[in-house]
Amino acid sequence: MSKSKESFSKKEKEKKRMQKKQMKETKKLERMANNDKGKTLDEMYAYVDEFGNLTSTPPQDRPNKELRVNRNLPAATGGNSHNEQKPRKGIVTFFNAAKGFGFIRDLQTNERIFMHFSSLTEQVEQDMEVTFEVQHSTRGLTAAKVKPVTGN
pTM of the prediction?
A: 0.44
Residue 132 belongs to a domain: yes
Residue 72 belongs to a domain: no
Q: Which domain holds residue 38?
A: 9-63
Q: Which of 151, 119, 152 is nearest to 135 (CA)?
A: 119
pLDDT of residue 16: 95
Residue 108: which CATH number?
2.40.50.140
| Amino acid letter for position 50 | E
Q: What is the pLDDT of residues 80-131, one digit of tens each?
A: 444 456 889 999 999 998 998 999 999 888 889 999 988 888 888 888 999 9
Residue 82 belongs to a domain: no
pLDDT of residue 151: 65
Residue 133 belongs to a domain: yes
Q: State the first-to-last Cα distance of the chain, in angstroms, to the nearest integer.
A: 103
Total number of domains constituting the chain: 2
pLDDT of residue 131: 93
Separation CA 152–CA 135 (nearest Å)? 26
Residue 120 belongs to a domain: yes
Q: How many other CB atoms sit within 10 Å of the CB of residue 103?
A: 18
Question: Among residues of the chain, what percentage have pLDDT more than 90?
Answer: 31
Do both 100 and 140 map to the same domain? yes
Residue 13 belongs to a domain: yes
